[in-house]
Amino acid sequence: MGDRLNFLSPETFAIVQVLYLFVSIVLALTLARKIGIGLSLLIASLILGILTLGIGWKLLTCFLQIQSFEIMLLVFLTYTLANLMDKLGMLEKLSRSLEQSFGSISISLIPLLIGLIPMPAGALVSASMLSPLTKDSKIGPERITIINYWFRHIWTPVWPLYPSVIIALVVLGMQYEKYLLSTFPIAIVSFLLGLTLLKDLNFEFRAEGLKDAFINIYPILALLLIYLIFRNLIVAVMVSILIVILHKKVCIEDLKLVIKKAFDLRILALVFAVIGYKNIIEFSKSAEALYEEISFMPVELTAFVLFFLVGFSTGIELSYSSIALPIFREFAEQPGNLLLAISAGFFGVMLSPFHLCYALTVEFFRAELGKCYRILLSLVVPALISSYIFHLLFSFFL
C-alpha cells in the first residue's frame, strides 16, 4: 500500500488513491496545453508520487530506470534517421518517383510512405510534397487535406518506430510481435476506409519511377530487415543511420545539424516521465484502487472513454500511451482490450482540434475546418465501430 496512506482504513485508502490519481491526470492534461505533455506529465507524476509514496529513495527509483535511458536513445535515433533522410532530399525524391509511377493516386501513397518515418508535424512534410501534384486538382482542398492527414497517420498505432508504440511496449512489458497481433486491425481498417477518399483518381502504373522510389526508401527497408535478424530496434536504427551516412557520404556539419534537430528535450522528458508515472502507479497500487471503485461499471466502457478523452483533449498520440495506459495496464494485457484501448486513444487524437498535424494541414491547403470534420467523422465513426467488433472477436476467440 502507499507509504503515506497506511494509517487509513482500506475503504478510505482506495477512495483517496483514486482521488490522487485523477488529480494527476487532470493536472497533466491541463498543463499539457501550456508547457507540453512531457513536462506536464513529469510534474503530475512527481505530485502523485509525493502524495502516495512520500519523498525518498522509493520515489527516486521510480524514475531512475535503465529502461528509461534505452527508450530515450531509441526515440533520439528514430528522429535522427527521419531528419537525415529529409536533409538529404530523399523524401522529396520519393515524392517525385511515386507520382511518376502511380499517377494521381500517388497523393495517398506519399503520405502513406512518409508515415513510416516518424517526425513532429510529419503531415506538413507530406503536404508540402503533395502541393505540386494537387495545384490543379479539382477534388477540393478539404478532401486533399483529409487524404494527406489520414494516410499519414495509418501507421501511428502499430509502427514500432513511433514513440507512442515504443512507450506502450515499455508500459505493458510486451514484445512488439504480440502488440502488433493485437492492434493491426486498426491500421487495416484505417487503410480500407481511406480508400473511399480516392474515388475518381487515376491509377497509371509506370515502372520507370520505382527504382528511384526504392533508392530513397531503402533506409526503412534496411531497418526492417535488420530488426528481423537481430530483434533489436536500437541496433536496427543505428545500422540504418550508419548505412545512409556511408552511402551518401554525409559531411560532419550536416550530421551535426541533423543530430541537433533530433535532440528534442520535450520528447526525452516525456519518456523519463512515463517510466516514473508507470512505476508510481504500480508501487502505490493506484490502478488497483481505481478498478475497485469502478467495479460497478463495465471496465471496457471506462477504458474506452478515458483513452478517447485523453487523446482528444491533448491531440498527441503519446498522451494515451503515457497517461491512460499505465492505469489500465492489467486490462490492456488481453489482445481484445488492448485493441479497444489503443483505437479509442488513436481516433480521439485524430479528431482532436489540438492535433498539430491536423491544424497545420488544414491551414496549408486553406481548407474549411467544418467540411474537413464532416469527411473525418465519416471515417472515424465506422473505424471505431469496426474496432469494437474486432475487440469482441478477439475477446471471444483469443
pLDDT for position 4: 52
DSSP at 3: G
SS3 per-residue string spanning 189-209? HHHHHHHHHHCCCCCCCCHHH
Give the separation between CA 276 and CA 379, rounded to whole angstroms.
36
Q: What is the 3-state secondary structure (H, E, C) of 112-128?
A: HHHCCCCCCCHHHHHHH
Distance CA 147, CA 358 (A): 11
Give kind and range of the element (H or E) at residue 239.
helix 233-248
Q: Both ends of the chain: CA-CA distance in Å? A: 33
pLDDT tens digits in sequence order for the chain, 398 residues long: 445 555 556 666 667 777 888 888 888 878 877 777 678 878 888 988 888 888 888 888 888 877 778 878 888 888 888 889 888 988 778 777 877 777 667 788 888 988 888 766 667 677 767 776 666 667 888 999 999 999 999 999 999 989 899 999 989 999 999 999 999 999 999 999 999 998 877 666 677 677 888 888 888 888 888 888 887 878 988 999 999 999 999 999 999 999 998 887 776 777 788 778 878 877 777 766 776 666 677 889 989 988 998 888 778 888 899 888 988 998 999 999 999 999 999 999 999 877 878 887 888 888 888 899 999 999 999 999 999 999 999 988 87
Q: Which residues contact 245 (CB under 8 A, 6 or more apart)?
A: 84, 255
How many Cβ atoms from other residues are within 10 Å of residue 22's Cβ?
Answer: 13
What pLDDT is stored for residue 249 in this prediction?
A: 92
pLDDT at 396: 86
pLDDT at residue number 13:
66
The residues near 210 (Cβ < 8 Å, ≥ 6 apart) are 97, 101
Calculate the CA 324 to chain-centre distance. Answer: 13
pTM over 0.95: no
* Residue-by-residue DSSP string for 267-312: HHHHHHHHHHHHHHHHHHTHHHHHHHHTTTS-HHHHHHHHHHHHHH
The residue with cell 511515386 is 98
